[in-house]
Amino acid sequence: MAAPTGQLVSAGARESVRARHTRRFIVGIAAIAALGGALFGYDTGVISGALPFMEGHFGLTSLGEGIITSALLIGAAFGSLIGGRMSDALGRRNSLLWAGAVFIGGAVAVALAPDVPFMTVARFVLGLAVGSASVITPLYLSEIAPPHIRGRLVSFNSLMIVSGQLLAYLINAFLAQWAAWRWMLGLAALPAVALFVGLFFLPDTPRWYISKGRQEEAARVLRRTLPADDVPAELARIDHARSLEADARRGGWQQLRTPWVRRLLLVGIGLAGVQQITGVNAVVYFAPKILASTGLGTGASITATIAVGVISVLATALGMSLIDRVGRRPLLLAGLTGMAVALALLGAAFHLPHSPAVSILVLALMVLYMAFMQATLNTGVWLLLAEMFPLRVRGLAMGAAVFMMWLVNFAVALAFPLLLDAVGAGTTFWLFGVMCVLSLVFCKRYAPETKGLALEDLEDELRKAAGAAPAAH
């Protein structure tokens, strides 16, 4: 017998209401948690506009500029190390709350810094929050998102990072007319407050609740993101996956001694280094200083940097759309080739006489370089690091690679102003071009291709590539 029409309409209406509630919940999660990515981007990008004014206020040398810029990065390196462990102990949400509180305090501290030592310490503390957020935010999003939108939601965090950098460039350009560098730095406290307050309205992830034996709370969260009939199976799947991962972690350190795993770890660390030694953050942190060296005024240099932020957002979106169609290796190789050409031309441009036309040419070549970088290398390296390691060492190996990424980032930020003084902008960018060529050789020889392979199948493929025997099944 058919159900009465009224009952069908009522059931349909209830399902429609539930779908709207689910969408609102997921949008709320994305909007609040991704503020961590936006703060990551803002706090790394804002220094480019503040630095020219801080230089005069504090009487900074090139070494002082490098120290203030890189203090955040060495803090981020250690923050990335503690972020994962803290999220396991305190929970993903509570760890983001901690990062939000440090973001607030750090933003206020750098804005009020009376001298260089205080500024350096404040930037280091702020870096702890940046590094922690770089690990915890994608972890939180990946664990709480429904499976069918997990990839988009986690990739949204990457887009928010470059969007945060663009916001920093826009605010820098607006405030530059008043030389208001303290406001540039301090305004980061506003999204940090929004992150901190918003997290009080979000739950932790089902995976963390299950790891602490809180099954009912895990089920309550899943009922807000999945059809009710799917909840028991998802609970069982998460519980089973966690038990497998616990077994895997117990053998992780021993697995690192296996030759083929050790080789993969070295490749991963190499890829992390490639992402940084090719010069991207020299542009992100010092774009106005670079443009000013062509004869452009400080205010105009800061405003022109907006173009770098805009292209970073657009290129990241393009890279996200290409990565599964083109493949990881082809994207890396094409990007490094384009970056090398752009850097060679950029180095040559600095040997031309100063003029408005040369300033525009330098800006255009910087934008071209960033387009290649953000659409290919940045997108490809982060994805490969998430895919290429076997389960038993995935956490350990990715943690080591990300730590190395922050350390090389720190070294580049510290050395770049000194290189500008020692050999000039043209030679400095040619050196980055040489790094691109060496990185191209490294990626052609060692970077794995993971396109079209399920994560479960990757281990045997990578074993074969390294000359090891396939695992027994």
Q: What confidence score (pLDDT) does residue 10 get? A: 61
* 44: pLDDT strictly greater than 60: yes
* 472: pLDDT strictly greater than 60: no
Q: What confidence score (pLDDT) does residue 387 get? A: 72
Rounded Cα distance between 36 and 164, Å, is: 10
Residues 412/277, Cβ–Cβ less than 8 Å: yes
Rounded Cα distance between 136 and 143, Å, is: 11
HSE-CB at 215 with a 13 A cutoff on CA atoms is 8
Q: What confidence score (pLDDT) does residue 36 get? A: 87
Residues 106/125, Cβ–Cβ less than 8 Å: yes
Give the closest residue to 341 by CA, choosing from 443, 438, 437: 437
Rounded Cα distance between 21 and 32, Å, is: 16
What mean pLDDT is predicted for residues 417-429? Answer: 93
Q: What is the pLDDT of residues 53-103, one digit of tens each?
A: 998 899 988 899 999 999 999 999 999 888 877 887 888 899 999 999 999
What mean pLDDT is predicted for residues 170-174? Answer: 95
Confidence of residue 13 (pLDDT cuts 50, 70, 90): low
* 146: pLDDT strictly greater than 60: yes
Phi/psi for 148 (5° steps) reads: -70, -15
Q: What is the pLDDT of residues 271-327, one digit of tens each?
A: 999 999 999 989 999 999 899 988 888 889 999 999 999 999 999 889 888 877 888
Q: What confidence score (pLDDT) does residue 33 get? A: 75
Q: What confidence score (pLDDT) does residue 66 get? A: 92
Tokens of 368: 């071209």
Confidence of residue 454 (pLDDT cuts 50, 70, 90): very low
* 231: pLDDT strictly greater than 60: yes
What mean pLDDT is predicted for residues 367-371? Answer: 96
- Could you name the CATH architecture of 251-468? Up-down Bundle (1.20)
Q: What confidence score (pLDDT) does residue 432 get? A: 97
Instruction: Name the residue ranges covered by the structural domains of the chain.
Output: 25-202, 251-468
- Does CATH number 1.10.10.10 belong to domain 25-202? no
